[in-house]
């Protein structure tokens, strides 16, 4: 989990354990930390363009390896399937997340602190009018390994 939180997504401010729920299904691979929304009738998750939840587990087609399953290490990778329940994090206005899932949108607006962001396929993105309603880019952070992460306030 530490590696995923360091290089993909981490809740920074305003979250607690009661903000995690485990009741939705992931029947296809989904990336840790992206915004997902459940289908209205089935509860099956897909990437969102509005807030649903932040995916708090990594869902792959083949699941964790045999080596990853060994020992008493908690697993944050799951195999996609019809009965695979995954943990999600409830977004709350004003909370801040550190995520790698921020990108330059189709309009070509460069990433900069202060950008107002939209959601496109589960990822925060800039838009032409810099008037996004989903997130505010608060900080751009590069760690010692060269991983670039973005601190985004939920709007």
Task: Looking at the structure, tell me whether residues 61 and 127 fall in a common domain.
Answer: no
Per-10-residue mean pLDDT, the chain, length 155: 61 86 91 91 90 90 67 66 89 93 91 95 91 93 88 95
Task: Looking at the structure, tell me whether residues 81 and 138 fall in a common domain.
Answer: no
- Tally the domains of the chain: 2
Task: Looking at the structure, tell me whether residues 148 and 73 fall in a common domain.
Answer: no
The pTM for the full model equals 0.85
> Angle CA(130)–CA(103)–CA(16) in degrees, nearest 5?
90
Please list, in sequence order, all residues whose beta carbon lies within 8 angstroms of the beta carbon of residue 108, skipping any fewer than 6 positions away: none
Q: What is the pLDDT of residue 129?
A: 83
Q: Enter the tokens of residue 13.
A: 């401010």
- Write the pLDDT tens digit of every residue in 58-79: 888 887 665 666 655 555 678 8
Q: What is the pLDDT of residue 7?
A: 65
Task: Looking at the structure, tell me whether residues 148 and 100 fall in a common domain.
Answer: yes
Task: Looking at the structure, tell me whether residues 111 and 81 fall in a common domain.
Answer: no
d(CA 54, CA 90): 7
Beta bridge partners of 38: 45
The boundaries of the domain holding residue 142 are 96-154
């Amino acid at each position: 989990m530490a590696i995923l939180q360091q290089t993909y997504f981490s809740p920074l401010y305003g979250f607690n354990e009661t903000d995690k729920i485990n009741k939705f299904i992931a029947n296809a691979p989904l990336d840790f930390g992206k915004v997902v929304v459940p289908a209205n009738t089935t509860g099956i998750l897909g990437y969102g363009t509005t807030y649903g939840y932040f995916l708090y587990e990594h869902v792959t087609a083949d699941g964790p390896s045999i080596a990853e399953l060994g020992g008493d290490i908690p697993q944050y990778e799951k195999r996609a399937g019809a009965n695979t329940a995954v943990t999600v994090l409830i977004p709350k206005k004003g909370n801040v997340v550190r995520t790698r899932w921020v990108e330059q949108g189709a309009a070509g607006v460069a990433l900069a602190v202060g950008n107002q962001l939209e959601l496109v396929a589960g990822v925060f993105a800039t838009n032409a009018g810099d008037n996004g309603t989903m997130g505010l880019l608060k900080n751009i952070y590069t760690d010692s390994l060269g991983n670039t992460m973005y601190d985004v306030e939920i709007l």
